[in-house]
Structure 1
């Protein structure tokens, strides 16, 4: 039987549907090719219907490509402004709490903790978070991020029985007492004191600024200003030991003889002249370092034993490049305790200068911001510098007499130690 003329299908007919459009994952970077497709679809729809609204346009493109309407809208707007399809930035810079809080802001947090102690209250994270949140001059911060910041500021919780208290580490307390005692002695000796520091000025693009001043005002010719390459608020990443050394070498002849220079502990301020061996140093190099310092070494010792000797004599040979440079010019370097920029009056000068730039910056162009920066520096005269220094002296007196928690005891009472420094 000839069935060549009959065609039969086995089973029911199958209707094919296109696979659903896969939506772009939230937060995923849109590639250049995808951006180009958005613009091509935009042009095609515009040719087909010149009167089509932007809302309808982005809805159609979003549905066809699986990309959010907001991304489509931004891509089209950028194309309208630049007439080009921009390439995406592959590396996203997400600022965490340590970038948002610069030295000045961190110092404000520390001050809030101290103020709670001044009221004879126990500082808890909730109390500190409320005070920091109420301070409109500080960036918004979550409770969890504040806890991380507090730990980074070298505070710690001391727990005894059922009670706990937030205290500073002993090293910070000792360093602060030594600094307050040293600067008091220098003032009694009549030595002229200079204060130096770095900061940043944000103008879309970041400027890194370094200067030095005293009660006579900013030192003429002491300004170092350059554009940031990383566009980050952490200006410490932009400076290096050699740049700071060259600047210091040029500024030292302009300072008074036998003066004192106050600075913080930034890494480029504290480059060691002779680095001490560590656990990663070869045994032969450790032995050579010890013998260069006049130590008699037993060659049968292992590395941990040698490092114990290094640890013992290291404080005798801790010399910094900048300190030796200043010493050769009959000048003294005095370092601030960590996280105590409030003891440096130049911070108040920076605050005034930044406020001047902020209030008068209308173009956000780098040359204009530089001019505003110079204007702000000119505004900070001798009178303002003397006021800043007096304000810092008052703060030092408060810190010298401040109360801090030593321990918590089982009875529930917190004992306060009085620092009798005057």
Structure 2
């Protein structure tokens, strides 16, 4: 009982229970400084300690804190407290949550698709991974973020599948026309009015013809 009465004698009564004095913002410091200056004007006969006690009761902070703010005002402008940098825990990342076996297996799936001349889209990789019972089932968002953490880059398609079909028909027509010796008939092939389109189909950029792919 004696300890509680001693604490109440030194600590001010807080009308608002959510007041936190561990770190006062610049605005809160300015309010306390204004209350102190106003109290000094209202009670000019009181000493500094008595004014600090009155301000402490009005603001809900200790007299020592009010004295520190008074000294800070005398030294210069009030400053905001330094923000502590947020601690980033690496345990929440996907590359740590999933073991190295799973990460390496997904990488091998993507590489095997390139070896088969297949385009590793997000749907195809997810289907190949989820078909294996030894691996956890991934959603599209989780798999996309995990592959991004693994270093894969995502590239949007720039040409639709219809152009691929047209290109294959064009190559078959060229082969057939050359076999028949009808080189002049190539201009009669549907779509040959735009020869610049045919120049775009090279063996180098075949990956950009199809759907969205991981590189």
Do they superpose with TM above 0.5? Answer: no
Higher share in helix: 2
Higher share in strand: 1
Structure exhibiting the larger radius of gyration computed from Cα positions: 2
TM-score, normalising length: structure 2: 0.31
